[in-house]
Structures are given as C-alpha cells and as structure tokens.
Amino acid sequence: MAQIEKLGSVVLVFGMSARRIGGIEVHTRELVRRLELRGRNVVLCFHQSPAPLVRQFLSLPNVIWEDLPYAWCNSWQASRDLFRILRRYRPCLLHLQFTPSLSLNPWIACLAGVPKIVFTDHHSYSENDQPQRRPFWIRFLGRLLNCPVSVIVGVSEFKKKIIAALGTFPPERVRRVYNGVSLELGGERSEPGIAFRERYRIPRKRF
C-alpha cells in the first residue's frame, strides 16, 4: 500500500448510476486491474453507490469508492464535491466521463493540483449529422474552459472528427478510443468470467 500511495491514485468520474454490468463496467474493471498492476489506487466516483452486484464486480483490491451526485450536470454541489475528492486523494490523473463537455471541472482539477486531465465524450450523434463550427464566442469559451485538459477522447473516428470540427477544443489533443469492449475480458472462456457466472448462476448463453 505504501508503494501505491507513493505512485499516486487515479480518479475516475462517471456522471451516471451503475445499475448493471454493461460495457462501461467491464471496461472500467479491466482498466482498474491494469492500474493495480502498476501499483495505483483507483477512486471510482458514481452518482450514487452502485447496485450490489456491480459494486462487487468492480471492487478490486485497489478500488476506493466515493459518491459524486449530479456529476452529469453543472452544479455547485457537484463542483464542491469534486474539489473535495481531488484534494483528499491528490490524484496523478482525473478521467471524466458522462460529464458536461463545457464545465468548470477542468479548472477545479487544476486548482486541486491534478497534473493530467482526460475527458471522454460519449455523446451520440446521428450518422447524418454535419458538424458546424461553433460561433467565435462559444469556441473561445470552450478553449478557455478546456485549457487544462490534456486529452479529449472520441469514442469513434466520426466522433473524433466532430470534436475537432466544433472548435471548442484544440484538435491536436483529440484522440480516438473505440467505444467497445472485448468480451474476452469477462467472457465465458476467461477464468474470472467462468467463476463469476458460476457464483451468480448466470447461464453461459447470457452476457
């Protein structure tokens, strides 16, 4: 634990409630596992405490739980609670998901001393959408609010192009990470997956 504390923690913020084990939860568990191998604690922040099955699924030895209500919107409560969490754990990285794309969160993290901030944009667009460059004042405001963000992640190539086209974030900081999860991480052929299914009597044909 001393080594983990020395290396610093990672704070993952989700502006959502975790009610079931889906793609986000499977991806998060794998990320937490890999961070554990690197000796890092992970602070998981959801709107409220996850459903018992989800909490147990994500509760690896390096996980710390925190509630962060209403992180999906801009509010004084969410801002205050985020600052409190960041000051408490002093993370080396903050990852924001399902939170507003324009908010004070990056500057709150900057003021709390977080050196690296990542934002993943999960917002969905129709394939027929033609992104329009935002007016100057919105682009200026977006660049100002997002200035402390190190990387913004688009979950598809199309999404990456939209983010760059809007002009509210420096295009050189935009990355693409496909919004998909390998079923091998929790599938029926992996030992943890088999044990998990047997424990909770989940048929092999069900995901």
Q: Is residue 207 part of a domain?
A: no
Statement: residue 37 has pLDDT above 80: yes
pLDDT, the chain, mean? 84
- Alpha-carbon distance of 42 to 62, in angstroms, equals 6
Please give the tally of structural domains in the chain. 1
Q: What is the pLDDT of residues 85-142, one digit of tens each?
A: 999 999 999 999 999 989 999 999 999 999 999 999 887 766 666 667 788 888 899 8
Q: Is residue 76 part of a domain?
A: yes
Q: Is residue 110 part of a domain?
A: yes
Residue type, 89: Y
- Alpha-carbon distance of 130 to 79, in angstroms, equals 33
Q: Is residue 55 part of a domain?
A: yes
Q: Is residue 117 part of a domain?
A: yes
- Alpha-carbon distance of 118 to 85, in angstroms, equals 16
* CATH code of the domain containing 45: 3.40.50.2000
Statement: residue 56 has pLDDT above 80: yes
Q: What is the pLDDT of residues 161-199, one digit of tens each?
A: 888 888 888 888 888 887 655 545 444 445 666 676 677
Task: Provide the residue range defining the domain that includes 98.
Answer: 2-179
Tell me the mean pLDDT in the region 18-39: 92
Q: Is residue 197 part of a domain?
A: no
Q: Is residue 186 part of a domain?
A: no
Q: Is residue 190 part of a domain?
A: no
Q: Is 153 exposed, middle or buried (0-12, 13-18, 19+ CB in 10 A)?
A: buried
Contact status, residue 99 vs residue 15, Cβ threshold 8 Å: yes
